[in-house]
Structure 1
């Protein structure tokens, strides 16, 4: 597991199984029982807390990472790797996190 990867995650109800981007620092995956993720959704609102993904990012359809819904999940609920995002896409995610949390 590595920050910026997209994995299938068993999210708490009602979301269920869905893709999510891993957000925790890389060193956390070896020692933490739970990690921070952001869900991926096909509901696109075109707002600053969303980062678009598509086939060029390794996703099967157009979708967005929703940084308004950052959550922490047990590592045991992280199932299967889908893709790894580019450094440029991770930069966009970092910007959206700052926007979502009003960090300037």
Structure 2
């Protein structure tokens, strides 16, 4: 069984004991980047954990969000890429079509 955690700026220095996979929030929308993402990834890699990245998706402008996500995450070969799809802080929700189209935009 793999043990995975997702982390964001709310957990700047998480305890990685017993964890196999660390999925780090890289970005949100087109304006927010997790300020701890680089050090969080370095710590996970130092501990030989599988690293993943996620983007908190906002409705609309998927191509711009995908490009921003990749710039923020700077993934290495083998890293996991994911999308967090839920209600935003202003109460909007990306559509199912947005959620489905985002991975294609990232590729």
Larger Rg: 2
What is the TM-score when the length of structure 1 is the normalising length? 0.25
Greater length-normalized contact order (CA 8 Å, ≥ 6 residues apart) = 1
Higher strand share: 1
TM-score, normalised via structure 2 length: 0.25
